[in-house]
Amino acid sequence: MNIILGITGSIAAYKAADLANTLTKQGHSVYAVMTDAAQKFITPLTLQTLTKNPVYTDMFAAEKPEEVAHIALAQKADLVIIAPASADFIAKAAAGIADDMLTTVMLPLKKGTPIILCPAMNTFMYDNPVTQRNLAALVSLGYKIVEPREALLACGVTGRGALADLDTILDAVKNNTP
């Protein structure tokens, strides 16, 4: 199965390496797409090494001039996982904004492509009514949400906002496989 793994700017971005590695070992072809903010937490080289596939970071890079990268990538996707999904990405996705490689890949997905969103952020950001409204809008569009855990967060606050455990995310993949 071809899986797009979207990684956004959250301290939990380092956990995407474990997810990418596990999915690859399960026999999936994983294509990581990273926002600029994600690259502040983890490097594309880490994900490229684990997935054995190119990592997409720039919507204007023309690695294969014969194709439009965001369209070709979206059309090959059997499943999309955004882990971690930041408040910024969630807001952009809910509004249909396409201003980076990841948000641009989301719009031309084939109809019915399962999308699993794994939020990870400060508890106050997660509980904010705007974030909750954006999540509800995405659920109404068919996105599946893997709820964050309650934990001591990097900011020192205890609350909901920690990225779901790897096993929970893998269960969501198994349950949403086309």
Which residues are designated catalytic?
155
Any bridge partners for residue 30, and if so which?
A: 3
Q: Please give the Cα distance from 120 to 102 (Å, whole number).
A: 17
What burial letters (b/e) apply to 75-112, b meaning 16+ CB within 10 Å?
eebebbbbbbbbbbbbbbbbeeebebbbbbbbebbeee
Which residue spans within 27-164 are E strands per DSSP? 29-34, 79-85, 115-119, 144-145, 149-152, 158-162
Helix (H, G, I), strand (E, B) or coil at 148: coil
Q: Please give the Cα distance from 143 to 132 (Å, whole number).
A: 14
Q: Are strands 158-162 and 149-152 parallel, antiparallel or unpaired?
A: antiparallel
